[in-house]
């Protein structure tokens, strides 16, 4: 299978970058399934029903979340009725929505998407390792499902790497999101799981992790409160990771970071 996972969509710039480049990528890479992290899609904070519909119309099959999943309170009202929108599975029991979902891909193939959040320097949620273990107890890669993708929304690279090694040989891809900065450690581990510590963001990189520069700089310099941060509005970069899997085992045979548009140097698979 050919799967694309797009990093955190930050505001209008990120959405416009997806609209500009995703249709071409679908054709060029013959993509079977597309996932995007949408927790910053609404002006940098959360996601709305309207934006969800826009992203699905672009050809995104599943949207994952993170610590900003509830910043737009309307999400609490529609996430239960929208199976394609996920939030971290390790939120406490009773939280709206879900973090694990099984999707139908072309030619009858099945893709399991798992969304969990880290705990180092993050909210003290339930154990992400135990949460993923519970999800995998019900599905076997190369057996009941053809691909398993884990979006690990976490701050610390150590926690992300530990999760990658913990899952090696049992999932197709374990990719980090959240920090909005693409890392250079794309690799296929010995057991066949593709891994990257952070995909980066879909947004304006002439910014402080997607936010207009002035206020963040002032906060760091003066240690004083400022107005609410505003999302940067320059040309966005699409940052994603492309993974190809073996049809029988579901393990990765290829991982390629993708960066298109905006200020970052372009990177596109051959």
Q: CA 10, CA 66: separation in Å to the nearest integer?
A: 13
Q: Is residue 234 part of a domain?
A: yes
Give the CATH number, domain containing residue 68.
3.60.21.10
pLDDT in tens, 63-106: 999 999 999 999 999 999 999 999 999 999 999 999 999 999 99
> Per the domain annotation, does 268 fall within a domain?
no
Inside any domain, residue 7: yes
Range of the domain at 89: 2-260
Give the Cα separation of 261 and 258 in Å (integer).
10
In this structure, is residue 13 part of a structural domain? yes
**Do residues 24 and 61 lie in contact, with contact meaning Cβ atoms separated by under 8 Å?**
no
Residue 158 lies in a domain: yes
Distance, CA of 165 to CA of 237 (rounded, Å): 29
Tell whether 265 is covered by a domain.
Answer: no
Q: Which tens digits make up the pLDDT trace of 206-218?
A: 999 999 999 999 9
Q: What per-residue confidence (pLDDT) applies to 96?
A: 97
Could you tell me if residue 42 is inside a domain? yes
Identify the DSSP state of 46: -
CB distance 100 to 106 below 8 Å:
no
Burial of 52 (0-12, 13-18, 19+ CB in 10 A): buried
- DSSP string computed for 191-244: TS-EEES---EEB-SSSBTTB-SHHHHHHHHH----SPP-B--S--BEEEEEEE
Mean per-residue pLDDT of the chain: 97
Give the active site residues: 68
pLDDT digits (tens, 9 = 90+) for 145-178: 999 999 999 999 999 999 999 999 999 999 999 9
Distance CA 269, CA 258 (A): 7
Residue 266: inside a domain, yes or no? Answer: no
Give the number of domains in the chain: 1
Q: Contact 89/131 with Cβ under 8 angstroms?
A: yes
């Amino acid at each position: 299978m050919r799967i694309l996972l797009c990093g955190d969509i930050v505001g209008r710039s990120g959405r416009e970058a997806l609209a500009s480049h995703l249709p071409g990528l679908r054709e060029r890479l013959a993509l079977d399934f597309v996932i995007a992290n949408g927790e910053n899609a609404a002006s940098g904070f959360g996601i709305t029903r309207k934006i969800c519909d826009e992203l699905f119309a672009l050809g995104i099959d599943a949207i994952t979340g993170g610590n900003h999943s509830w910043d737009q309170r309307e999400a609490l009202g529609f996430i239960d009725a929208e199976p394609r929108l996920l939030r971290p599975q390790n939120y406490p029991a009773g939280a709206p929505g879900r973090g694990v979902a099984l999707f139908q891909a072309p030619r009858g193939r099945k893709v399991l998407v798992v969304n969990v959040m880290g705990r180092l320097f993050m909210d003290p949620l339930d154990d992400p390792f135990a949460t993923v273990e519970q999800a995998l107890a019900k599905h076997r890669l190369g057996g009941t499902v053809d691909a398993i993708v884990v979006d690990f929304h976490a701050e610390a690279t150590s926690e992300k790497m530990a999760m990658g090694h913990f899952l090696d040989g049992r999932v197709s891809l374990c990719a980090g999101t959240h920090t909005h900065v693409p890392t250079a450690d794309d690799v296929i581990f010995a057991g066949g799981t593709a891994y990257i510590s952070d995909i980066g963001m879909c947004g304006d990189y002439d910014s402080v992790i997607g936010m207009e520069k002035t206020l963040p700089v002032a906060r760091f310099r003066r240690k004083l409160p400022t107005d609410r941060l505003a999302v940067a509005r320059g040309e966005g970069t699409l940052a994603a990771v492309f993974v190809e899997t073996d049809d029988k085992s579901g393990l990765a045979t290829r991982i390629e970071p993708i960066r298109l548009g905006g200020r970052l140097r372009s990177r596109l698979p051959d």
